[in-house]
Amino acid sequence: ACQQAPTSPRAAFLLGLCAQDRGDHATAVAAYERALALDPALPEAWTNLGIVRQATGDLVGARAAYGAALRGRASAFGRISQALAGAPKGELWLDLEGLRRDLAG
């Protein structure tokens, strides 16, 4: 799909999902970054980029991606807060409104 539609953010996003499912973090990050270069307003790509960065131990990069996702779509907050708390390298916030404000920057 990416070869057939190299300017499609959706194709790049789907490649990122496939790579993420396989545990290929480097390919997933590259694909999500490509999708976001094509369409910076893709909250799903920002959220998944955050999840992959968090899985690789890059919590600062993950939080930056989560913040971009939240600014793009407020309804992404539930998934973001679960991802932050549910991974081996993450954060548990008891004050969810504080987390929301912190990520929204």
Tell me the domain boundaries of the chain: 9-104
Band of pLDDT at residue 1, cut at 50, 70 and 90: low
Chain segment 52-105, per-residue pLDDT in tens: 999 999 999 999 999 999 999 999 999 999 999 988 889 999 999 999 999 988
Query: Contact at 8 Å (CB) between 38 and 8?
Result: yes
The pTM is what?
0.92
To the question of domain 9-104 being in CATH 1.10.3720.10, the answer is: no
Tens of pLDDT, residue by residue over 6-51, are 789 999 999 999 999 999 999 999 999 999 999 999 999 999 999 9
